[in-house]
Amino acid sequence: MATYRDDFYRLPALYDLEYAQHTEDLAFYGELAQKAGRVLELGAGTGRVTQTMVNAGATVEAIDLSQPMLDRLSERFASQGQAHRVTARLGSFIELPQGPEMPLVVLPFNTIHHVYSGRDVLRVFEQVQARLAPEGCFAMDMLIPDPAFFERDPDGVHELRHFPDPDGGTLKTWENGWYDPITQINHVRYHYLRANGARQLVQVPMRMFYPAEFLDLVQQAGWKMLRCDSDFSGTPLAADAHKLILVLRK
């Protein structure tokens, strides 16, 4: 079984460069946070979604396994004079640290793919349920395996993108990798070519879950399903979906 690698999350500045423009999920999590007022965010990273939830008026307990990502999150809110709105905690959502009951727990941006077995997904669900208030909600999103994606050339250049290099010039990034249909691990490799010619390779094993398999785990954990959609604007799950977005109540 593949195990977690945190390579990608040792480079928070690169993470922010790549995902600053990823905004499709922000209104969804922002609206939930606005209603709830207090949020436990799992895998908060550098605070991309946290920022929207704070802007919506919520206070956030932000858990992450990566100290560099959390440091950047803390710097972000300190520089805005908003440090009092966010509690950054180093820890794993597979063994959540104790804390107060929350009206909302979120696990955004495909972060569930860092959980490698159904048994550990059930552990995450159990931990979340222990921290959720009785009428509280758990919201998360994940990718649905796409056969076309897995048939890509493992050594090809896919999703080539250019960013301004923080040190000047242009930073090129692309991805490739391979999918193991036995373990359902998508072994993603991110390649970076800095303006000064330096190269970096970052590997991220992502455990993929098929919808029926994942919804079975949802059922086993006893969740009540409030939403089961294929996008953030509420399109119900259908055969051509690439995403699964869930809002659950215990």
Ligand X SMILES: C[S@@+](CC[C@H](N)C(=O)[O-])C[C@H]1O[C@@H](n2cnc3c(N)ncnc32)[C@H](O)[C@@H]1O
**Residues contributing to the site for ligand X (CB under 6 A):** 9, 19, 43-45, 48-49, 63-66, 69, 92-94, 108-111, 114
- Please report the sign of the dihedral spanned by the C-alpha atoms of residue 245, residue 181, residue 116, residue 12: negative
Q: How far is the CB of 95 from ligand X (least distance, A)?
A: 8
Nearer to ligand X, 24 or 170 (CB): 24
Nearer to ligand X, 43 or 205 (CB): 43
Q: How far is the CB of 168 from ligand X (least distance, A)?
A: 25
Nearer to ligand X, 31 or 195 (CB): 31
DSSP state of 145: P
Q: How far is the CB of 106 from ligand X (least distance, A)?
A: 8
- Cα separations in angstroms, 23 against 28, 129, 195, 241: 10, 28, 27, 19
192 neighbors 120 (Cβ within 8 angstroms):
no
Nearer to ligand X, 94 or 237 (CB): 94
Q: How far is the CB of 64 from ligand X (least distance, A)?
A: 4
Burial of 215 (0-12, 13-18, 19+ CB in 10 A): middle
Nearer to ligand X, 19 or 210 (CB): 19
Taking phi first (over 0 means left), then psi (-120 to 50 degrees means alpha), and beta for anything else, what does residue 217 get?
A: alpha
| Phi, psi (degrees; rounded to nearest 5) at 159 | 50, 50
| Phi, psi (degrees; rounded to nearest 5) at 201 | -125, 130
Nearer to ligand X, 194 or 207 (CB): 207
Q: How far is the CB of 110 from ligand X (least distance, A)?
A: 6
Q: Which of 143, 146, 147, 145 is nearest to 245 (CA)?
A: 143
Nearer to ligand X, 110 or 195 (CB): 110
Return the residue matching tokens 């692309």: 174
Q: How far is the CB of 169 from ligand X (least distance, A)?
A: 25
Q: How far is the CB of 99 from ligand X (least distance, A)?
A: 14
**Max CA-CA distance within the chain?**
54
At 173, list the tokens.
């990034």
